[in-house]
Amino acid sequence: MVQRLAAFFMLTLAWAAATGGLWAGAAAAQDRPVKIVALGDSLTAGYGLPANQAFPARLSAALKAKGETAVVIANAGVSGDTASGGLARLDWSVPQGTDAVIVSLGSNDFLRGIDPKVTTEALDAIITRLQARNIKVLLCGMLAGKNMGAEYETAFNAIFPALAKKHGVLFYPFFLDGVVTERALNQADGIHPNAKGVDVIVNAILPKVEDLIAHARAARS
């Protein structure tokens, strides 16, 4: 009887130690900063702007202003990049340990008149590969200019909502919402946002990014 009690006592201690370690590990995972990569083109990179005024930096500042300090955002924007370019560099642009990715590609695709099927296939592959790594995704939409023709415009604009629905990812319909065509919010080229324009983008997309952070944290548990 004494031996049985001793064995039970030792088993209880072992279970407590094991579960204590599991809980400690879970707590540590929850406390670890959420690592986000902003994967995009010049609109993400911050073309024509100081590094501290680029989208990722201003987004990080906005989150901290709301008390969200345990978030790190890496700028993986490459000026001139297409969706296919983003796919080609995906593995080194999104390193191991990344929790979430903001995908904002496509503006150069329509500017170059790239076949919407090519853009679709590239973005589809990006999302598929990120999800296979258990990385949460926020897909940012882009809208083609009217000068591309009605057929192209319709096909291109449909890419983003369709992919968001297919993969069940968070979706922000138009990255440049509230900024495009606004002279006061753009640089002299009329294409790239100035510092004020970036802040408009950040303020508009912030709720979706907060959802992204919540999803990334939930995936750890």
Contact by Cβ (8 Å): 156, 191 = no
Q: Given 41, 84, 104, 192, which residue is catalytic?
A: 192
Q: 45: which 2 tokens?
A: 């990179």
Question: 155: which 2 tokens?
Answer: 């096909």
Active site annotation includes 189: yes
**Partners of 163 in beta bridges:** none
Residues 117 and 152 sit within 8 Å (Cβ to Cβ): no
Distance CA 176, CA 145 (A): 12
Reply yes or no on whether 42 is catalytic.
yes
Q: Given the residues 41, 42, 60, 104, select the one marked as catalytic.
A: 42
Could you tell me which of 199, 218, 214, 171 has the C-alpha nearest to residue 60? 199
Q: Are 108 and 179 in contact (CB under 8 A)?
A: no
Number of separate helices (H) and strands (E) present in the chain = 10, 5
Strand 71-77, strand 100-104: pairing: unpaired
Q: Computed over its alpha carbons, how large is the radius of gyration of the chain?
A: 22
Q: Which DSSP symbol is given to 141? A: P
Residues annotated as catalytic (active site), given as ranges: 42, 189, 192
